[in-house]
Amino acid sequence: MNHKLCRAVDMLEGSDAIQKDHDRLERRDCASLMKFNKAKCKVLHLGWNHHRHKSRLGGKWIESSPEEQDLGVLMDEKLNMR
């Protein structure tokens, strides 16, 4: 099962909001029998004029990725799809 979070993060408030979303996922993970494989979690920063806000899941920082594949489509941070 894949989970995806998406939010516009253009200011500190947006960064705080996505971190709260990550914290909610972590709490739900602790309360359920399903566990996230935190080593496979990645952040894909989309667009051109973004700041690379750091996020964490639990106590582990989530790595950034220049591109990710979803449903067979590879998308990069500039919104190019292959």
Residue ranges of the domains in the chain?
12-76
| Strand spans (E) along the chain | 42-43, 56-57, 60-61, 63-64, 67-70, 73-76
* Residue of 63, 21, 26 lying closest to 41 (CA atoms): 63
Give the pLDDT confidence score for residue 50 in this predicted structure.
62
Share of the chain above pLDDT 70, in %: 88
- Asked whether the whole model's pTM tops 0.75, one would answer no
- Give the model's confidence band at 59: pLDDT under 50 very low, under 70 low, under 90 confident, else very high: confident
- CA gap 22, 15 in Å, rounded: 11
- Give the model's confidence band at 16: pLDDT under 50 very low, under 70 low, under 90 confident, else very high: confident
- Cβ atoms of 64 and 43 closer than 8 Å: yes
